[in-house]
Amino acid sequence: MGRLILVPTPVGNLEDITLRALEVLKNADSILAEDTRRTGILLRHYGIKNKIIAYHQHNEHNKLENIKAMIAGGMCLALVTDAGMPGISDPGFLLVRACIQSNIDVETLPGATAFLPALVNSGIPSDKFCFEGFLPQKKGRKKRIAQLKDEARTMVFYESPFRICKLLEELIVEMGPDRPASISRELTKIHEETVRGSLEYLRKYFGSRDVKGEFVLVVSGKQK
């Protein structure tokens, strides 16, 4: 019987991939990819020639049954996203759940993620933390931020460069301007940057600059 293998891919530097991941990508019957072009760049870099099937948030519901049938028929499929671990703020969860419900073997390789380097590099306690990922854009956003006001664990968020200042402003309203925080962006890339300080400092810093890249925001929990 076939199986599904989740393969983490580099969040920036193409060298940040494991030998085991390369072996899976080379030998899988096909590769399910969030963005076939980006995955193609990775495969070409390592001289891997394999079939790539588009699997992303706009077609994942429609493709579930077909993919399950492929695996049930004996195929080994590798699942990758644009960067990092499949299923972490990226497509993957629905397919994993569907495979488990159908008694299809699922294997997940260890590897690159964006939030762990940012968390450890922040200097904020990392023994206990909660991963919030991308907050809802509209419905439930204000309520969720209010709920996090008294969270004692370190909090980790994902955000785009277009909305990072808005998020910082919203957190300041609930948590105050002096809450310790850290932002990492462009992780593992040439222009990688980590800025540490209060929420207000970060708001002023990034509010005065034109910056790119995906942001990982780490915020200290409420101190007793």
Residue 87's CATH number: 3.40.1010.10
Q: Is the pLDDT of residue 71 over 90?
A: yes
For the chain, give the mean pLDDT. Answer: 94
Q: Is the pLDDT of residue 224 over 80?
A: no
For the chain, how many structural domains are there in total?
A: 2
pTM for this entry: 0.90
- pLDDT tens by residue, 21-54: 999 999 999 999 999 999 999 999 999 999 999 9
Q: 163 with 69, same domain? A: no
Distances in Å between the Cα of 114 and the Cα atoms of 91, 125, 160, 163, 215 are: 16, 17, 13, 18, 9
Average confidence (pLDDT) over 116-128: 96
Q: 101 with 123, same domain? A: no
Q: Is the pLDDT of residue 89 over 90?
A: no
Q: 55 with 120, same domain? A: no
Last residue of a domain, one of 89, 108, 127: 108
Average confidence (pLDDT) over 62-84: 93
Q: 99 with 121, same domain? A: no
Domain coverage including residue 88: 3-108
Last residue of a domain, one of 108, 128, 163: 108
Q: Is the pLDDT of residue 206 over 80?
A: yes
Q: 124 with 143, same domain? A: yes
Q: Is the pLDDT of residue 176 over 80?
A: yes
Domain-embedded: residue 224: no
Predicted confidence band at 62 (pLDDT cuts at 50, 70, 90)?
A: confident
Q: How many CB atoms lie within 10 A of CB 25?
A: 22
Per-residue model confidence (pLDDT) at position 132: 96
Average confidence (pLDDT) over 67-77: 94
Domain-embedded: residue 74: yes
Cβ neighbors of 15 (< 8 A, separation 6 or more) are: none
Residue 189's CATH number: 3.30.950.10
Q: 163 with 78, same domain? A: no
Q: 81 with 154, same domain? A: no
- pLDDT tens by residue, 177-203: 999 999 999 999 999 999 999 999 999
Average confidence (pLDDT) over 144-155: 97
Last residue of a domain, one of 80, 108, 136: 108
Q: 71 with 35, same domain? A: yes
